[in-house]
Structure 1
Amino acid sequence: MSRTIDYGNLMHRAMRGVIQNVLSDIQKAGQLPGTHHFFIAFDTQHPDVEIADWLSDRYPGEMTIVIQHWFADLEVTDDGFSITLNFGNAPEPLYIPYDAIKTFVDPSVEFGLRFETQPHADDDGDEAEAPMDEMVEPVEDAPRKPAEVVSLDKFRK
């Protein structure tokens, strides 16, 4: 038994459990309720992530997926989830372990989770990476700007 209670790791598991429960409900229903949609950023270099080579080449460190209108084959397990998403009219299967997730945001209800790591000393005194989790709280006092549609032609030369 360790000499301390690892609250960071306990929170890490609990917050990932929230994601698992939400995705399990979506899997059972076959669709997202109402206006809910998710932005999920994850570490593409995590050893258990499974994505197409062209996606890992294009996003060598982090990638954000959007689960909203079209998705297929959502399968939720205790360790992660698999899903097929559309990338430029090409369906691509993905597997994302919960440990690879960096952020999970549902902007329709201003809810988000961010997972970070920070160095800490382990039992031997050596530094190791420990999870540092926090909820992303909405900023109530921030003025809201209306959405702006930007044409990509604006950035082409």
Structure 2
Amino acid sequence: MRYDRLVEEALRSVVRTALTEAATNGLPGDHHFYITFKTHLAGVDIPAFLRQKYEDEMTIVLQHQYWGLKVMEERFEVLLSFNDVHEKLSIPFAAITGFVDPSVKFGLQFQVATDAEQQPSAPEGVAAFTPAGKPAAAGTPAESEAASEGGAPEDDAPEAGAPEGGANVVTLDKFRKK
């Protein structure tokens, strides 16, 4: 059994469920999402100027200024404002490398397969789960609240078992036979 794929599928369903809840009922209280994704993977549909500016990875923020959030089984779509122009982004869940809700100090970090390695059924395993503390994959928002280059390098991630208030990162790759 490929437990790494089962875990990845389960964790991506957390992202899908959170986005579905936001699409249906809006974001309650101070909740907001930082979603980091690979811009060059198959199925990612973003405007050309964003793909050129963020050649590898991009972080979007869903907080106050987003519209038309639609969640499907394999992807989500949202309208965001870039320089006062609404642009549609369509992002497959398989392209997501990070999902953070800083209001409750919750985050998920994924390792995404490259196009050559990517399989339609399930991308390769989970790199890390960050249940508390500083988000491991959130970038600094730019262009209003819409986008920024994403991701903290893995070297900046706290060690597993970090003290209270820091992020506990559990890397499943440590337990996988190679």
Q: Give TM class, smaller chain.
A: 0.7 to 0.9
For 2:174, the equivalent position in structure 1 comes to none
Distance 1:117 1:78, change over 3 A: closer
TM-score by length of structure 2 reads 0.68
User: C-alpha distance in 2, partners of 1:24/1:117?
Assistant: 22
Deviations 1:42-69 (CA, angstroms, capped at 9, x unpaired): 0001110000000000000000000000
Count residues in correspondence. 127
In the other structure, the counterpart of 2:18 is: 22
Runs of 4+ in 1 over 6 A off after TM superposition: none
CA distance in 1, matches of 2:87, 2:165: 40
> Would you say the 8 A contact 2:66–2:79 is kept in 1?
yes
Supply the distance in 2 between the matched residues of 1:132 and 1:93 (Cα, whole angstroms): 28
1:10 to 3, 6, 14: 6
CA distance in 2, matches of 1:58, 1:117: 20
| CA positional deviation for 1:141 | 4.1
Task: Determine if contact 2:96/2:112 at 8 Å carries over to the other structure.
Answer: no
Match of 2:39 among 26, 38, 44: 44
Unaligned runs of 5+ residues in structure 2 are 114-122, 134-163, 167-178
Quote the Cα distance in structure 2 between the aligned partners of 1:117 and 1:18.
Answer: 17
Q: Which amino acid aligns with 2:92?
A: P
- The superposition leaves residues 62-107 of structure 1 with CA deviations (integer Å, 9 ceiling, x where unpaired) of 0000000011111100001000011121111000000000000000
1:104 aligned partner: 99
| Secondary structure at the counterpart of residue 93 of structure 1 | strand
Alignment map for 1:1-157 (pairs within 5 Å):
5-29=1-25, 31-116=26-111, 130-139=124-133, 140-141=164-165
Where 2:20 maps in the other structure, the secondary structure is helix
- 1:131 shift after superposition: 1.7
Length-normalised TM-score, structure 1 = 0.76
Which segments of 5 or more consecutive residues in structure 1 lack a partner in the other structure?
119-128, 143-157
Asked if structure 2 preserves the Cα contact closer than 8 Å seen for 1:105 and 1:111, the reply is: yes
Q: Give me the whole-angstrom Cα distance separating, in 1, the residues matched to 2:126 and 2:98.
A: 12
Q: Please say which structure displays the higher CA radius of gyration.
A: 1
* Larger strand share, 1 or 2: 1
Q: CA RMSD in A?
A: 1.5
Distance 2:30 2:111 in 1: 28
SS state at 1:112 partner: strand
